[in-house]
Amino acid sequence: MRVWFLSAALTLMCIAQSATAGTLLIVGDSISAGFGLDTRLGWVSLLEQRLKQQGYDDKVVNASISGDTSAGGLARLPALLAAHKPDVVILELGGNDGLRGQPPAQLQQNLASMIDQSRAAGAKVLLLGMQIPPNYGVRYTTAFAKVYSDLAQEKKVALVPFFLEGIGGHPDLMQADGVHPAVPAQEKLLNNVWPVLKPLL
């Protein structure tokens, strides 16, 4: 009888865990796709490991594509939301918009639409902020960075102000191209995200 009760209790615990397990959808560019790296060493893989280590059963879907822009992410998002039904959507886009000199207003509009669609699908949203190198000019770099803080305030979404905080500008943490974070930077990327992501889980 005692064995039966123990077995039943364990079964109920497993059911409860499954019921609370969610899905994290990451829609990003090369930084989240692990460009130039063994993807097993990228920050998204490290996130999956940390979730397990801390007792979360959440599934991570990495829908990041190297070279993608906010317009590309916006075009892909409806199908991703329908297929994966995420509980949390992490938006890591904009770097390629900036490197191509696209208007910050267009970036803001695209990200705003992605936030609205994600919420309409029942997901919480985490926005990962980006910055552009100073050689693009003060006016443009300021307007670009402001997109993320303005959106976070307007839409009331969680924000990591600068995803590459403590990484950009440090050659030892960057790949030879000076654009993509190297392996030693991947845990730092995760540590920039984790304190803001954890309350959303």
CA 115, CA 13: separation in Å to the nearest integer? 34
Helix axis angle for 186-197 and 43-53, nearest 10°, is: 50
CA 110, CA 113: separation in Å to the nearest integer? 5
Q: Which residues are catalytic?
A: 30, 177, 180
Virtual torsion, Cα 4, 6, 7, 8, nearest 10 deg = 80
Q: Are 125 and 197 in contact (CB under 8 A)?
A: no
DSSP 34-84: TTTS-GGGSHHHHHHHHHHHTT---EEEE---TT--HHHHHHHHHHHHHHH
Q: Are 104 and 146 in contact (CB under 8 A)?
A: yes
DSSP one-letter code for 87: S
